[in-house]
Structure 1
Amino acid sequence: MSYRELGNDVVKLVGGERNIGSVIHCATRLRFNLKDDSKAQQEELKKLSGVMGVMNKGGQFQVVIGTHVAEVYKEISKIISVDGNAGGGAKKSITNQIFEIISGSFAPLLGALAGAGMLRALLAVLTALDWMSAESSTYRVLAGAGNAVFYFLPIFLGITISLKLGVNAYVGGAIGAALLEPNITGLAAAEQGTTFLGIPLILSDYSSTVFPIFIAILIYAMLDKLLRKVIHKDLQMFLVPMICLMVIVPLTLLVFGPFGVNVGNAIGSGITFLSTKSGIITGAVLGAGWTFLTVFGLHWGIVPIILANLGQGGDPISAMVAMGVFAQIGVVGAVFLKTKDKQLKTLAASTFLPGALSGVTEPIIYGVLTRFKKTFIYVAIAGAIGGAINNLFGVHATVFAFPSVLSIVAFSPMAMHATSALITFGIAFALTFILGYEEKTGTASVQGNTSGKDQSSITPGIKNLTVVSPLKGQIIPLSSVDDAAFSSGAMGKGIAIEPTEGRVYSPVNGVVSTIFRTGHCIALVSEEGTEVLIHVGIETVKLKGQFFTIKVQEGTDVKQGDLLIEFDIEQIKKAGFQTTTPIIITNTNDYRDVIGSDKATIEPGQHLISVIG
């Protein structure tokens, strides 16, 4: 299929020109703002030769094309009037906006929350086995390390929510800190009734709470923007934060805090009530539904409820939804053993370990389940059974942790949770292995042929090549990247780096084939014909070139070590974006194998990827 035909078909299947508010492209995909997402025919789009996948993420309808996206975009621009800055797309619904804020606020904290949760779980095991005394100073130090992020959660959320909403993050953090400040917490112990300007205060313990700070920062963001319209620019630096603190902190204690606490308690009580009425049904619904919530990004809305429940002593939701994770692991384990396709076997193995050990299952969902739709049924059945068992026997989480093999110790009773997890895994594994999984032809799958060539026609005589590191930083598996188009292997095999220095150097001798005007992405072709894509950050195309400086042009001949791009790591992070950088061999299918380095950290110029011809 030609680029012109593909462009025509894509426009037609997203609902036609009249349904397109705007369209831009990044390194790998077309990004549409559609007036009505329901008019887009996702399944038909996935069947198009040349389309690797489709996803609706962050308010954009994304069609994954690969490295030829610029050519397809050019053809689309001939068909319709494209405008990357157009606002013709429909406004996001309130629900979408809420979930986007929740996901953007919790994402930076999940590592700290998961790590601290596992530390608390480890301490619980050590004290239960009498290997450590809860009265010892060692225990107290480690307990402090594990408890801090949860106790001071309003401060951390004050910062991350403010970053997501585009207001001063440190004022947001100060609002959260005020709820835990001794002058305010001390009022709760006062014998006489406490007031503010004569208005009675209803004081609560705001440590580890979620809903009060969410409400407070939402109002703070609106007040901040209003004040900046009416206060002279020279006075804004001190006057805006001062007024915001004077207004928002008292309002939080008077209104937002009590309301948020009651909302959290009501939701937790609701779950508990449903569980007492029909624990089996409640557990089955949540166990079966978790995978689908994750697909649509709605699982973020559960996290605040889980944290609120943990603040009350324990959370049953985590135990129920955890079974959805073990069901996914069971499916991909069976696919690994059953398939004879080397590429699929590699994909299954690379997604199994992150899911089993860390609970990160997006690579499983987008790399395997969406490819073989039949497996969603297996996951739902196994998850429902496991969730029902856990809720029937009152299994609950004692600390926050991602559902995984390693986090089994975070649940009580632990033996029952482990048994339920094993049953769930076994059912999903057996269904997949015995009944098989639905084969899907063509290039519709997310894991599709990234080079557009038949895999059986590997180009003979291609030389081996060593691709050196273009960055200084920490190496992470590609499967851990928070973008399904990369983590699933859709773009090809490779590796990712969490940079500690904002410079990108050429990893090969060759030519710059593509460099985006935003500076966030560059593609090179080595002298041996290896195609290398370097994508700095996740969703950083939205920065529109801010914090990036391009040092070369398309068509430039480069040598290993030549400076290509400079970028400001701190400013990118402050803007709310991840700087994780995938380095992809986009013509992976021309080679027998692509093998990444097993180092933990790396310097520019050191061996990063071996390409085996």
Structure 2
Amino acid sequence: MYQELARTIIKNVGGGENISNFTHCATRLRFNLKNDSKADLQTLKSTKGVIGVVNSNGQLQIIIGSDVSNVYKEILNSNLVVSNDKQEDKKKGLSSIFEIIAGIFTPIMPPLTAAGMLKVVLIIASTFGWLSKESQTYYIFNFAADSIFFIFPVILGYTSAVKFKCNPYMGMLLGGAMIHPSYMALVNAKEAVTFLGLPMKLVTYASSVVPIILVVFVMSYVENFADKVSPKPIRFFLKPLITILVMIPLVFLVLGPLGSITGEGLAVLVNKINTVAPWLIPAIIGATTPLLVMIGMHWAIIPIGFNELALKGFENFIGPGMMVSNIAHGGAILAVALKTKNKDFKQLAGSSGFSALFGITEPAMYGVTLKLKKPLIPIMVAGGLAGLYCGLMGVVRYSTGMPGLASIAIFISDIKPSNVIHALIACGIAFVVGFIGMFVVGFEDIPNENKEKVKKEKKEAKPDLEIGEVMATVKSIADGEVIELSAVKDEAFASESLGKGFAIIPENGKILSPINGTVASIFATNHAIGLESEDGTEILIHIGIDTVRLNGEHFKSLVKEGDSIKIGDVLVEFEKDKVVKKGFDISTPVIITNTFDYKNIIPIKFGKVKAGEDILSLA
């Protein structure tokens, strides 16, 4: 549902290429468009799931209601939005590095997995005597599986160029030059070579990772320079010509050797760590993999594992540790499935636990672990202990593959038969410790009776009441002047599209709770807060009009999601005078978002009020 709505919205705002930036607030999507005339406002207004459309302050606002965050996520995941400039500008530091690495390596995971699993099949076939290593059939399958590593410079030349926003085929051209047979002949001849009168360091770039990424990164700037200096009538051929003339010397004289030294340096560092403390890396990776995956930092270490595999034919940097971490994850989540009394949650934990055993942890991570939080404790302990065992026993993997039971064959070796046995023992340690540890740590179970069921029961009960029978009252959230919603200068609130209620122009900067209940949600910028009363009334307080544009400046929340609150408790403080000085209307709508659960919502008082006075009667 959300995916379809997201696609419809993108199409009718003029397509992804027409979006320069987008975000969302508590109830609406907010788009900055390159060309406003391309947006089909009438179609958007009539789209199912869209409550209303407002074009204000150079921003197209599409009102969705409480489901806005779900639609926003689907737009982000759709890959239909070409640019989101302001958001891109905010990505700095480590997060941007992780994103770049992820963008470079994610597209090549399918062929890497295919090659790794083909290796698994060959290992099994040769181990059980089904296929001789001396046969031509084995020979051909084997070099086909190895080819992915050999042509790394070409493949990574393409994916790196896509990520660095330069011509991907130029990236492939440079990668191809680095593994061309004629260049390889120079390397194999082992004779001194000069280029442009300068001595050239001969390096084998086949199966390398770092050099081509460095090369394409520099090429992105060279290509941009070439674009600027090339006259428009001849830019088509002059731009790529300038790029290749500049890059080839840089590749073979500077960047390639520098990247090679960096890659070899990583290998030396890993070897030194393994020499001094062979247990360290697998233990750390085994313990911290869930955290690394949550923040995206696992992408920072995956290239090191690939580099090790390419240079040595085996690695222990990420493979063993990530495998036992996933097994530990599966064990802990299967314990949750066994222990929970919630039938729906039991099914989710059971299926996602088994998926984790086979290397796919996302359903378990986001469906169970992060929801309960406590499973992280046994998962990390179990992963660390099993990783420690891998390190002490020298467990390595010989190919790529999903880090789980499905790829256990990548640990099989003729040279080291015990390797796979120790890998299986480590998996057993991870599962048992994770499973039992979950029972020891425990967790707060999710009750079978979910919110939807409670709401449904309340909704079914209320129609039996007389219209005049008061179910609840809503108090004033501040000293100030209460006005009708229709007077609010925002179509979504004024039209009561989001629900009935009132608005108040506060005299000071303190927003108080109008009910006894809990804090259901707080928007990141603290300008909007959702509440749920003890009797099920759902309330949205939106401080000011369009104040999301302040990005949280001048707003401070004094509560957090899940907090219990009483009438009169201070929820949010804001610097009223500074907000008004910046030109914002501080009229604050108080909306009953489950309006249809009531027969009638009756205003009690308008005009000057004190905080805590009754304003609405819910019948």
Q: State the TM bucket, normalised to the shorter chain.
A: 0.5 to 0.7
CA deviation vs aligned residue, 1:535-564 (integer Å, no higher than 9, x gap): xxxxxxxxxxxxxxxxxxxxxxxxxxxxxx
**Aligned residue number for residue 9 of structure 2:** none
**Aligned residue number for residue 430 of structure 2:** 424
- Asked if structure 1 preserves the Cα contact closer than 8 Å seen for 2:389 and 2:426, the reply is yes
- Asked if structure 1 preserves the Cα contact closer than 8 Å seen for 2:207 and 2:311, the reply is no
Question: Quick one: distance in 1 between partners of 2:328 and 2:216?
Answer: 37
**Aligned residue number for residue 352 of structure 2:** 351
**Aligned residue number for residue 229 of structure 2:** 230
**Aligned residue number for residue 194 of structure 1:** 193
Question: Quick one: distance in 1 between partners of 2:178 and 2:249?
Answer: 10
Higher mean C-alpha deviation, range 115-124 or range 206-215: 115-124
Question: Quick one: distance in 2 between partners of 1:276 and 1:408?
Answer: 25
Superposed counterparts of 1:324-339, under 5 Å: 324-339=325-340
Q: Secondary structure at the match of 1:24?
A: strand
The Cα shift of 1:278 comes to 2.2
- Asked if structure 2 preserves the Cα contact closer than 8 Å seen for 1:286 and 1:387, the reply is yes
Superposed counterparts of 1:449-598, under 5 Å: 454=454, 457=457
Q: 2:421 aligned with 1:415, yes or no?
A: yes
Q: Secondary structure at the match of 1:371?
A: helix
Q: Secondary structure at the match of 1:115?
A: helix
Question: Quick one: distance in 1 between partners of 2:112 and 2:25?
Answer: 32
- Asked if structure 2 preserves the Cα contact closer than 8 Å seen for 1:373 and 1:438, the reply is no
**Aligned residue number for residue 178 of structure 1:** 177
- Asked if structure 2 preserves the Cα contact closer than 8 Å seen for 1:371 and 1:440, the reply is no
Question: Quick one: distance in 2 between partners of 1:416 and 1:71?
Answer: 44
Q: Secondary structure at the match of 2:278?
A: helix
- Asked if structure 1 preserves the Cα contact closer than 8 Å seen for 2:316 and 2:395, the reply is yes
**Aligned residue number for residue 137 of structure 2:** 138
**Aligned residue number for residue 167 of structure 2:** 168
Mark the CA change 1:310 to 1:457 in structure 2 (over 3 Å): closer, same or farther: farther
Question: Quick one: distance in 1 between partners of 2:179 and 2:67?
Answer: 53
The Cα shift of 1:335 comes to 1.4
- Asked if structure 2 preserves the Cα contact closer than 8 Å seen for 1:22 and 1:89, the reply is no
Matched to 2:158, the amino acid is I
Mark the CA change 1:329 to 1:88 in structure 2 (over 3 Å): closer, same or farther: closer
Query: Which structure 2 segments of 5+ residues have no match?
Result: 1-19, 33-63, 73-82, 413-418, 461-619
Question: Quick one: distance in 2 between partners of 1:145 and 1:423?
Answer: 35
Superposed counterparts of 1:56-75, under 5 Å: 68-69=67-68
Q: Secondary structure at the match of 2:303?
A: helix
The Cα shift of 1:183 comes to 1.4
Question: Quick one: distance in 2 between partners of 1:28 and 1:394?
Answer: 54
- Asked if structure 2 preserves the Cα contact closer than 8 Å seen for 1:158 and 1:175, the reply is yes
Q: Secondary structure at the match of 1:130?
A: coil
Query: Which structure 1 segments of 5+ residues have no match?
Result: 1-20, 34-64, 74-83, 461-613
**Aligned residue number for residue 367 of structure 2:** 367
Question: Quick one: distance in 2 between partners of 1:426 and 1:71?
Answer: 37
Mark the CA change 1:26 to 1:330 in structure 2 (over 3 Å): closer, same or farther: farther
- Asked if structure 1 preserves the Cα contact closer than 8 Å seen for 2:334 and 2:354, the reply is no
Mark the CA change 1:458 to 1:146 in structure 2 (over 3 Å): closer, same or farther: farther
Higher mean C-alpha deviation, range 343-352 or range 214-223: 343-352
**Aligned residue number for residue 404 of structure 2:** 404
The Cα shift of 1:208 comes to 1.5
Question: Quick one: distance in 1 between partners of 2:278 and 2:363?
Answer: 31
**Aligned residue number for residue 253 of structure 1:** 252
**Aligned residue number for residue 276 of structure 1:** 275
The Cα shift of 1:221 comes to 0.9
The Cα shift of 1:24 comes to 1.5
- Asked if structure 1 preserves the Cα contact closer than 8 Å seen for 2:333 and 2:349, the reply is yes
Question: Quick one: distance in 2 between partners of 1:351 and 1:225?
Answer: 46
- Asked if structure 2 preserves the Cα contact closer than 8 Å seen for 1:208 and 1:307, the reply is no
Mark the CA change 1:66 to 1:367 in structure 2 (over 3 Å): closer, same or farther: farther
Q: Secondary structure at the match of 1:397?
A: coil
- How many residue pairs get matched? 392
Q: Secondary structure at the match of 1:363?
A: helix
Question: Quick one: distance in 1 between partners of 2:65 and 2:113?
Answer: 33
CA deviation vs aligned residue, 1:564-605 (integer Å, no higher than 9, x gap): xxxxxxxxxxxxxxxxxxxxxxxxxxxxxxxxxxxxxxxxxx
Question: Quick one: distance in 2 between partners of 1:130 and 1:88?
Answer: 56
Question: Quick one: distance in 1 between partners of 2:102 and 2:224?
Answer: 22
Superposed counterparts of 1:43-122, under 5 Å: 68-69=67-68, 87=86, 91-122=90-121
The Cα shift of 1:115 comes to 1.6
Higher RCO, Cα 8 Å, sep 6+: 1
Matched to 1:402, the amino acid is M
Structure 1 stretches of 4+ moved >6 Å: 26-33, 70-73, 440-443
Q: Secondary structure at the match of 1:162?
A: helix
Q: TM-score by structure 1 length? A: 0.59
Question: Quick one: distance in 1 between partners of 2:189 and 2:364?
Answer: 53
Question: Quick one: distance in 1 between partners of 2:329 and 2:65?
Answer: 27
Matched to 1:340, the amino acid is K
**Aligned residue number for residue 384 of structure 2:** 384
Q: CA RMSD in A?
A: 3.3
Mark the CA change 1:376 to 1:190 in structure 2 (over 3 Å): closer, same or farther: same
Q: Secondary structure at the match of 1:374?
A: coil
Q: Secondary structure at the match of 2:130?
A: coil
CA deviation vs aligned residue, 1:16-50 (integer Å, no higher than 9, x gap): xxxxx9862499997999xxxxxxxxxxxxxxxxx
The Cα shift of 1:272 comes to 2.4
